[in-house]
């Protein structure tokens, strides 16, 4: 798929639909990182002046008219909602999104060092809790690929906090992290108890480093 051509066409459609009410269009996810496969979703980020029932239904109808409708996901909100969003989550959104129309960072409060730290903390806490519960109770190793995916996002924010450089692509990030984190980034099909313990121990180390 020519994602650049798709986003250009998508943007023209949104401008026609919302006019000046469209404040920002960007792309996140695997296409934004340049790591998409044939079955990857498309994750547009759309920020509107107003995002109520009418706007959402018009946006839904627009998506339904597209051949790619079944693989379009993404994030849609008004600028007021974006400004009120949790700072850590908003920081992840801003850093992960490639702009197509407008400037996302200019629409909301600046990303702070505390936002970045909280993003790492929230990610590590969620991974620790889910890994511990899985090891002790669920013992469902099939859920590990999703937890490893979450850990990769957290590792990226952790690296940004420590080095001040945001690396979009996970394949590039592995050049800047230690062997433990390389193993998490490289794990293709982590579906064993040993893999669950590796993730738990990494989350534990990350939490202690933030305390």
pLDDT in tens, 109-162: 999 999 999 999 999 999 999 999 999 999 999 999 999 999 999 999 999 999
Tell me what the mean pLDDT of segment 87-110 comes to: 97
- Using the Cα atoms of residue 115, residue 164, residue 79 and residue 60 in order, give the sign of their dihedral: negative
Max CA distance (Å), the chain: 53
Tell me the three state secondary structure of residue 24: strand
Q: Number of helices and strands (H, E) in the chain?
A: 10, 4
Q: Vertex 205, ends 202 and 206: CA angle to 5°? A: 85
Confidence (pLDDT) at 211: 86
Which of 45, 51, 52, 34 lies closest to 10 in space, CA to CA?
A: 45
Tell me which fold the domain 3-107 belongs to: Beta Polymerase; domain 2 (3.30.460)
Tell me what the mean pLDDT of segment 57-62 comes to: 98
What does the alpha-carbon distance between residue 75 and residue 89 come to, in Å, rounded to a whole number?
Answer: 12
| 72 strand-pairing partners | 42
Q: Which residues contact 7 (CB under 8 A, 6 or more apart)?
A: 25, 27, 44, 100
Could you tell me the residue ranges of all domains in the chain? Answer: 3-107, 113-210
Q: Which DSSP state fits 67?
A: T
pLDDT at 38 over 90: no
Residue found under tokens 């009418």: 54
49: phi then psi, degrees, rounded to nearest 5? -60, -40
HSE-up (13 A, CA, CB side) for residue 177: 25
Considering the entire predicted model, what is its pTM?
0.93
Confidence (pLDDT) at 134: 97
Which of 164, 162, 166, 206 lies closest to 184 in space, CA to CA?
A: 206
54: phi then psi, degrees, rounded to nearest 5? -60, -45
The token duo for 88 is: 């850590």
Confidence (pLDDT) at 39: 87
Confidence (pLDDT) at 88: 98
Q: What percent of the chain is modeled with pLDDT above 90? A: 97
Please report which confidence band the pLDDT of residue 13 belongs to, taking 50, 70 and 90 as the band edges: very high
Average per-residue pLDDT for the chain = 96
Tell me what the mean pLDDT of segment 64-93 comes to: 97
Confidence (pLDDT) at 79: 98
Tell me what the mean pLDDT of segment 161-183 comes to: 95
Confidence (pLDDT) at 69: 96
Q: Which of 36-40, 80-84, 94-98 has the lowest mean pLDDT?
A: 36-40
Confidence (pLDDT) at 40: 94
């Amino acid at each position: 798929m020519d994602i650049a051509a798709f986003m250009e066409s998508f943007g023209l459609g949104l401008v026609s639909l919302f006019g000046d009410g469209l404040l920002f269009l960007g792309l996140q996810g695997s296409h934004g990182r340049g790591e998409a496969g044939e079955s990857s979703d498309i994750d547009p980020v759309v920020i509107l002046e107003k995002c109520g029932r009418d706007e959402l239904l018009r946006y839904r109808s627009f998506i339904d008219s597209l051949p790619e409708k079944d693989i379009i996901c993404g994030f849609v909100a008004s600028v007021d909602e974006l400004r009120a969003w949790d700072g850590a989550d908003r920081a992840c959104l801003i850093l992960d999104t490639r702009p197509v129309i407008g400037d996302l960072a200019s629409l909301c409060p600046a990303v702070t060092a505390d936002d970045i730290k909280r993003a790492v903390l929230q990610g590590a806490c969620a991974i620790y809790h889910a890994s511990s519960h899985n090891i002790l109770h669920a013992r469902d190793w099939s859920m590990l690929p999703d937890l490893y995916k979450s850990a990769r996002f957290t590792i990226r924010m952790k690296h940004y906090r420590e080095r001040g450089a945001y690396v979009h692509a996970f394949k590039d990030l592995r050049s800047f992290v230690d062997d433990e984190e390389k193993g998490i980034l490289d794990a293709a099909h982590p579906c064993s108890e040993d893999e669950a313990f590796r993730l738990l121990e990494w989350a534990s180390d990350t939490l202690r480093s933030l305390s």
